[in-house]
């Protein structure tokens, strides 16, 4: 566990970046520090590996004051991933990943073997290991940055805006990858971001900081969305928080209705019945391909003529996914699929809203009153 005990950092020149911050960071979990630009996130993180020394207060790791540890040893026991991947441009990807193990005395061959394994762990092809960082895309560089931070198998991983320089699609992939890795690794991860969505997706716990490194709220993402502790937090969490909170509500009770389907191969067959206002076209494996509106049946003769579908709801997904499936479907019928992606039926927005309302009521009035 990492404990910040009344930590303050005033930079030379008088800027107080972090003011009397106390925080217990759980072992084996992802703790996200989030807040507006300049609120002291990076300073806080850097006090954990002594890249920045606190002006007062203490940081403890497993009960030991890190001021008593040699800074270079401490840093090697913590992986560090930055926004710009921070890779050394004149070294190959493999050598970059092997850097810290080499510094720790691991023989070159062993360090490179481990580096190759790590490339695979972070989802990169082995042949990329021979390239130089400039020959990789931004997203690939960030993956290498993660591999390098993991190379010495440190119990603690510090990640400072590691995914903010890549486009939203790659960013989502990297977030999913990190969560997948974390399920196996169970590292103690401290993750800095200014993006509240990223914070709520990744964090087991989220610390919202205000300017001056003042802790505004420290709670689970679910709680921060449901019950922001102050106007500042509510404002920072921003719009759609009610909707985003649905990400934390299980969609198990969602009713699945039967749905009329037609195989795409039969679209050209005028005898193939389309009796519902909207019929879902499926491939031979039963996977959804798009919609046939009854009033345009004659114009839809092949897969290319179909009206595109919306998002899909898998059984067990959250209420947010269920509602999104229903709202994004042109038919108003959210398509529900099984784990293999085969259509199992449809879900309806009105029923999902009823479930949301039921859940709200059963959470209890007192609880809800603190949320609004």
Which residues of this chain interact with ligand ATP, rule CB under 6 A? 11, 13, 15, 17, 35, 37-43, 194
CB of 65 to ligand ATP, least distance (A): 22
Q: Which of 152, 174, 24 is nearest to 78 (CA)?
A: 152
Instruction: Closer to ligand ATP by CB, 38 or 138: give it.
Output: 38
Long-range contacts of 36-41 (CB under 8 A, 24+ apart): 36/194, 36/210, 36/211, 36/236, 37/194, 38/211, 39/209, 39/210, 39/211, 39/212, 39/213, 40/9, 40/209, 40/211, 40/212, 40/213, 41/160, 41/192, 41/193, 41/194, 41/209
Quick one: residue 223, left, alpha or beta (phi over 0 = left, psi -120 to 50 = alpha)?
A: alpha
Closer to ligand ATP by CB, 37 or 362: give it.
37
Shortest Cβ 177–ligand ATP spacing (Å): 23
DSSP letters along 167-207, please?
Answer: -HHHHHHHHHHHHHHHHHH--EEEEEES-HHHHHHH-SEEE
Q: For ligand ATP, which is the closer residue by CB, 41 or 114?
A: 41
Residue with Cβ nearer ligand ATP (55 or 276): 55
| CB-CB contact of 122 with 173 (8 Å) | no
Q: Which is nearer to ligand ATP, 15 or 22 (CB)?
A: 15
CB of 187 to ligand ATP, least distance (A): 21
Cβ of residue 11: shortest distance to ligand ATP, in angstroms? 3
Give the containing element (helix H, strand E) for 360. Answer: helix 349-362
Distance in angstroms (rounded) separating the CA atoms of residues 29 and 315: 27
Report how far residue 202's alpha carbon sits from residue 105's, in angstroms, rounded to the nearest whole number.
33
Q: Which is nearer to ligand ATP, 40 or 203 (by Cβ)?
A: 40
Helices (H) and strands (E) in the chain, counts: 14, 16
* Cβ 162 to ligand ATP shortest distance, Å: 13
Give the nearest distance from C-beta 18 to ligand ATP in angstroms.
7
| Smaller CB separation from ligand ATP, 49 or 289 | 49
For the bound state, the minimum distance from the C-beta of residue 108 to ligand ATP, rounded and expressed in Å, comes to 36
């Amino acid at each position: 566990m990492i404990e910040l005990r009344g930590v303050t950092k005033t930079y030379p020149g008088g800027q107080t970046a972090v003011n009397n911050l106390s925080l217990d960071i759980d072992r084996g979990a992802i703790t996200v520090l989030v807040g507006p630009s300049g609120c002291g996130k990076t300073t806080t993180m850097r006090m954990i590996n002594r890249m920045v020394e606190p002006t007062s207060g203490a940081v403890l790791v497993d009960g030991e004051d890190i001021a008593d540890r040699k800074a270079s040893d401490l840093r090697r026991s913590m992986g560090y991933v930055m926004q710009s991947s921070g890779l050394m441009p004149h070294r190959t990807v493999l050598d970059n990943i092997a850097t810290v193990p080499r510094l720790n005395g691991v023989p070159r061959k062993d360090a490179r073997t481990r580096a190759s394994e790590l490339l695979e762990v972070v989802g990169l092809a082995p042949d990329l290991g021979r390239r130089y960082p400039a020959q990789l895309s931004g997203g690939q560089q960030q993956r290498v940055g993660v591999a390098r931070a993991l190379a010495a198998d440190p119990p603690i991983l510090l990640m400072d805006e590691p995914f903010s320089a890549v486009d939203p699609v790659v960013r989502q992939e990297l977030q999913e990858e990190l969560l997948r890795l974390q399920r196996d690794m169970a590292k103690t991860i401290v993750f800095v971001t200014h993006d509240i969505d990223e914070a709520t997706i990744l964090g087991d716990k989220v610390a919202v900081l205000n300017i001056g490194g003042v802790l505004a709220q420290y709670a689970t993402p679910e709680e921060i969305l449901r019950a922001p502790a102050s106007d500042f937090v509510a404002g920072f969490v921003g719009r759609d928080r009610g909707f985003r909170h649905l990400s934390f509500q299980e969609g198990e009770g969602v009713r699945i209705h039967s749905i009329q389907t037609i195989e795409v191969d039969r679209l050209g067959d005028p005898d193939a019945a389309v009796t519902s206002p909207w019929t879902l076209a499926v491939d031979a494996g039963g996977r959804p391909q798009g919609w046939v509106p009854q009033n345009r049946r004659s114009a839809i003769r092949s897969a290319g003529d179909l009206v595109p579908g919306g998002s899909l709801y898998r059984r067990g997904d959250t209420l947010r996914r269920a509602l999104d499936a229903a709202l994004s479907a042109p038919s108003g019928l959210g398509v529900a699929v099984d784990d293999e992606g085969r259509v199992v039926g449809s879900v309806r927005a009105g029923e999902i809203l009823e479930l949301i309302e039921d859940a709200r009521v059963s959470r209890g009035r007192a609880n809800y009153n603190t949320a609004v």
